[in-house]
């Protein structure tokens, strides 16, 4: 299960982040002609074409609006892409205005809060089109900042869920233990989440999963799904750089010595940059693993925040006051 979230966005924060349009379009093989960007008679006509493309979700129409650069806007999270298109359309319909900056440049302003769409409009000869190359960096930076902030909150939520899980004996063996997976085996309580039947206790991640489901996320046990651009994996031990030194959290088949979780971007440089880790001490560490993030993360089997790993800003403040790393 890879879609967990605890904090609520304000209406303003939602729009400022979610209006990063078309975050996760699946990239198919298309010809050069199909990637050709369409030009419009006016900036108003261009903005209307963008609205229609967002509402339809049609990849061909999206390509026509943004041109060749559209392929670099993806984040690897199709659910987030749909939400962002819907948020864009809602803000556009609430209020929109094309503001001319000069004779060759314009910007699209959306919603009652007058949010500026990051991709500007430019005039080339007598035609208007979106300057996707200029706006791409701003789109990606906004998305990454939002996703990374969310991921830290998700990790803290998982840590809370693990502590909740370990406060009860879920299999009747008289031992308190942490969960080794997010989703329980059918009919069991061996993960942080299980669908609640009559008379059963709510799972530690139940409210968060319900929220993610309302946001449009689904999950399959055999195929991880990125949540707001990040994947999550439980670790069962720690290395020498962790407080307390190197040891396994497992005693036989039971995870009683602690827990840890790693979170990494679904699409490095598009959905996120930093990889994050947390363990039972509650401090979140971060590191930029670079373009080989997917391969390097697969090799990480322990919580071992050594060289290059640093405390996130909020964790550093907490550690300063409460002691620890």
Cβ neighbourhood burial of 3 (10 Å; 0-12, 13-18, 19+): buried
189 has a pLDDT exceeding 70: yes
Higher pLDDT: 280 or 77? It is 280
Residue-level pLDDT at 33: 44
Q: Residue 13: which pLDDT band, with cuts at 50, 70 and 90?
A: very low
Measured CA to CA, the distance from residue 149 to residue 161 in angstroms comes to 19
pLDDT at site 232:
96
Judged against a pLDDT cut of 60, whether residue 34 lies above it is answered with no
Task: Reply yes or no on whether the pLDDT at 177 is more than 80.
Answer: yes
Q: Whole-number mean pLDDT of the chain?
A: 85
Classified by CATH at the fold level, domain 11-139 comes out as Nuclear Transport Factor 2; Chain: A, (3.10.450)
Q: Does residue 80 register a pLDDT over 50?
A: yes
Beta bridge partners of 287: 275
The domain ranges of the chain are 11-139, 141-322
pLDDT tens-digit profile of 293-310?
999 999 999 999 999 999
Distance CA 177, CA 253 (A): 10
Confidence at residue 16, expressed as pLDDT on a 0 to 100 scale: 36
pLDDT digits (tens, 9 = 90+) for 99-136: 999 999 999 999 999 999 999 999 999 999 999 988 88
Categorise residue 252: left if φ over 0, alpha if ψ from -120 to 50, beta otherwise: left
> Would you state the pLDDT for residue 296?
98
Q: Is the pLDDT of residue 15 over 60?
A: no
Least confidently predicted of 30-44, 74-88, 254-268: 30-44
Q: Which residues, in sequence order, are bridge partners of residue 237? A: 248
High-pLDDT (> 90) share of the chain, %: 62
Lowest mean pLDDT segment, chosen from 9-18, 32-41, 220-229, 245-254: 9-18
């Amino acid at each position: 299960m890879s879609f967990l979230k605890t904090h609520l966005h304000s209406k303003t924060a939602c729009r400022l982040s979610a209006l990063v349009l078309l975050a996760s379009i699946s990239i198919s093989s298309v010809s050069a002609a199909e990637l050709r960007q369409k030009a419009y008679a006016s900036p108003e006509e261009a903005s209307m074409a963008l609205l229609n493309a967002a509402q339809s979700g049609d990849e061909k129409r999206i390509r026509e609006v943004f041109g060749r650069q559209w392929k670099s806007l993806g984040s690897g999270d199709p659910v987030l892409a749909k939400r962002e298109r819907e948020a864009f359309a809602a803000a556009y319909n609430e209020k929109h205005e094309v503001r001319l900056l000069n004779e060759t440049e314009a910007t699209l302003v959306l919603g009652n809060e007058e949010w500026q769409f990051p991709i500007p409009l430019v005039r080339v000869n007598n035609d208007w089109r979106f300057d996707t190359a200029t706006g791409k960096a701003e789109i990606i930076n906004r998305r990454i900042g939002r996703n990374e902030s969310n991921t830290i909150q998700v990790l803290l939520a998982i840590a809370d869920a693990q502590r909740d899980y370990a406060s009860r004996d879920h299999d009747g063996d008289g031992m308190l233990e942490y969960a080794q997976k997010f989703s329980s085996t059918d009919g069991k309580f061996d993960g942080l989440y299980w669908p609640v039947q009559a008379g059963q206790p709510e799972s530690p991640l139940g409210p968060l999963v319900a929220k993610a489901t309302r946001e449009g996320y689904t999950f399959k046990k055999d195929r991880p799904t990125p949540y707001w651009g990040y994947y999550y994996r439980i670790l069962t031990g720690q290395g020498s750089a962790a407080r307390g030194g190197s040891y396994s959290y497992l005693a036989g088949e039971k995870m009683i010595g602690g827990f840890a979780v790693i979170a990494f971007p679904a699409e490095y440089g598009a959905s996120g940059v930093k990889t994050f880790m947390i363990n039972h001490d509650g401090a979140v560490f971060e590191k930029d693993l670079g373009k080989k993030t997917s391969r390097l993360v697969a090799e990480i089997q322990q919580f071992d925040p050594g060289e290059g790993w640093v405390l996130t800003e909020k964790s550093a403040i907490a550690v300063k006051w409460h002691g620890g790393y």
